[in-house]
Amino acid sequence: MTLETEAFRFSQFGAPDVLSRQRHALTDPLDGEIQIRHLAIGVNYIDIYHRRGVYAAPLTLPSGLGIEGVGVITALGEGVAGLAVGQRVAYVGGPPGAYATFRNLPAARALAVPDGLDSTVVAALVLKGLTVEYLIHRCVSVAKGDIVLFHAAAGGVGSIACQWLKHIGATVIGTVGSEDKAEIARANGCDYAIVYAKEDFKARVAQITGGKGVRVVYDSVGADTFAKSLDCLRPRGTLVSFGEASGPVDPLSVASLGGKGSLFVTRPSIAHYTADRSEYEAAARNLFSAIEAGIVKAPNASKYKLSDAVKAHEDMEARRTHGSVILIPDGL
Ligand SMILES: NC(=O)c1ccc[n+]([C@@H]2O[C@H](COP(=O)([O-])OP(=O)(O)OC[C@H]3O[C@@H](n4cnc5c(N)ncnc54)[C@H](OP(=O)(O)O)[C@@H]3O)[C@@H](O)[C@H]2O)c1
C-alpha cells in the first residue's frame, strides 16, 4: 500500500537552507527492503558533508539525507527473512534518507534493538557507537596503558570514545573547542582536556607525555589539526584520520612518515567496517553489550523536531552542539 512520507530532500549542494521538507508518496518496499516508521533519527557530521557535496563521491541529486535511525517495521519486501512487521530496528548506512517520517531501506542494514533500550538512546548512540567500536577495537586495537589523543572529544563520536577508551584503561587526551566542552569531555573520562583554540595541543601533548608522544591520534577535524597530529605520535604510532570537520587534509608525503618515526596513517570509513553482515552484527552486539553494561552511556542528546532539521545542521556546523544530536518526528 502506498503511503505518504514527510522527508527532507535537496537538489543542490550547499548551506543548510538547501534542505526542503516535502511530502511525497512512498512506494512499497522492493525485494530485500523493509519499510519503517521512524521513532528517532541520528544526525551526524557526515550528513553535513553529504549536504555540502564535499565527499570524494558526492551524492546523486536530488537526494534524501541521513544514514541513521530507529523505527518500527511497517512492511517487508519480498525475500526478507528474520524480520517482522511491528519489530523495532535500528540501522546505520544505506542510501541517505533518514530525515523522514517513513522510509524504505535495505533489510541488510537493520539491527534488532534490545528491548530495554530507549529508541532515543539508540538513535544517539548507534552510528557514533559503531564508529567508536571499529576505531578503537578493529582499526587500531587500543590496549590498557596506551596514551591516545582524541580530537573533538566532546562531540557525538568523541563523547562515546572517551568513555570506552577510559574503560579499556587508556590514558585519554582530548581536544575541545571551549571550556564548557572541556568539562563535558572530562566527565566522559578524558584525563586531559585541551582547549585547542587557546592552547597549542602539540606542545601540550609533548608536555603531558614527557616528550614521548601518543600511540594513536584519532583526528576527525582534518585541515586544522592533521599536521600537528602527526607530530604528536610516538615512533611507530598511528594517525587515524576519520573526518574533516574543518576542511580536507592536504596531500601527504609518504616519505615524511619515515622521518617522523615509521608512522602509520589510515583513512577509515564505517562503511567498510560494517559492510560485511556478520561483522556488522558482531560490532552491534559489542556496542549494545557495552551500553547494557554501563560502559557507554548516551551522551546528553540535543533533541530537535524533525521539522527543525535545518536548525540542527546550523547548530552543529557552528560548533554549538555537544554529545549527540537527534531528530524526533513531529507529534511523537
Ligand atoms: N570515518 C568514519 O567512519 C566516521 C564515522 C562517523 C563520524 N565520522 C567523523 O567524526 C567526526 C565527529 O562526528 P559527529 O557526528 O560526532 O560530530 P561532532 O563531533 O558532534 O561535531 C563535530 C565537532 O568537530 C569539531 N570541529 C573542529 N573544527 C570544526 C570546524 N571548523 N567546524 C565544525 N566543527 C569543528 C567541533 O568540536 P569542538 O568545538 O570541540 O572543536 C564539532 O562539535 C566528524 O568529522 C565525522 O565526519 C567519521
Element (H, E) at 224: none
Q: Which domains does the chain show, CATH number per domain?
A: 3-125+274-328 (3.90.180.10), 144-268 (3.40.50.720)
| Ligand 1 atom closest to Cα of residue 157 | 16
Alpha-helix runs per DSSP H in the chain = 45-52, 119-133, 156-168, 179-187, 201-208, 226-231, 254-259, 270-273, 277-292, 309-317
For residues 119 and 70, the answer to whether their CB atoms sit within 8 Å is yes
* pLDDT above 80: residue 194: yes
Taking residues 223-230, what's their average pLDDT? 98
Residue 69, classified by CB atoms within 10 Å of its CB into exposed (0-12), middle (13-18) or buried (19+), is buried
What are the pLDDT digits (tens) for 242-264? 999 999 999 999 999 999 999 99
For residue 1, what pLDDT is reported? 64
For residue 2, what pLDDT is reported? 72
Residue 286 Cα, ligand 1 centroid: separation in angstroms? 23
Residue 129 Cα, ligand 1 centroid: separation in angstroms? 14
Residue 117 Cα, ligand 1 centroid: separation in angstroms? 25
Of 65, 159, 178, 221, which is best to mutate to test ligand 1, by the most ligand atoms within 8 angstroms of its C-beta? 221
Of 159, 162, 220, which is best to mutate to test ligand 1, by the most ligand atoms within 8 angstroms of its C-beta? 220
* pLDDT above 90: residue 112: yes
189 lines ligand 1 (CB under 6 A): no
Cell numbers given for 69: 535511525
The closest residue, in CA terms, to atom 18 on ligand 1 is 155
Q: What are phi and psi of 88, to 5 degrees?
A: -90, 130
Residue 83 Cα, ligand 1 centroid: separation in angstroms? 33
What are the pLDDT digits (tens) for 38-60? 999 999 999 999 999 988 677 89
Taking residues 12-16, what's their average pLDDT? 97
Pairing of strands 102-106, 33-43: antiparallel
**CB contact set of 3 (below 8 Å; sequence gap of 6+):** 25, 26, 74, 102
Residue type, position 209, single letter: T
Cell 512499497, residue located: 28
176 lines ligand 1 (CB under 6 A): yes
| Ligand 1 atom closest to Cα of residue 181 | 40
Residue 18 Cα, ligand 1 centroid: separation in angstroms? 21
Q: Flag whether the pTM goes above 0.85.
A: yes
Cell 532539521, residue located: 309
154 lines ligand 1 (CB under 6 A): yes
**CB contact set of 67 (below 8 Å; sequence gap of 6+):** 44, 46, 47, 92, 93, 94, 96, 98, 127
Residue 156 Cα, ligand 1 centroid: separation in angstroms? 8
DSSP secondary structure string for all residues of 17-82: GG-EEEEEEEPPP-TTEEEEEEEEEEE-HHHHHHHHT-SSSPPPSSEE--SEEEEEEEEE-TT--S
Beta bridge partners of 112: 89
| Ligand 1 atom closest to Cα of residue 48 | 47
* pLDDT above 80: residue 70: yes
Q: What are phi and psi of 235, to 5 degrees?
A: -55, 140
Residue 36 Cα, ligand 1 centroid: separation in angstroms? 28
What are the pLDDT digits (tens) for 206-217? 999 999 999 999
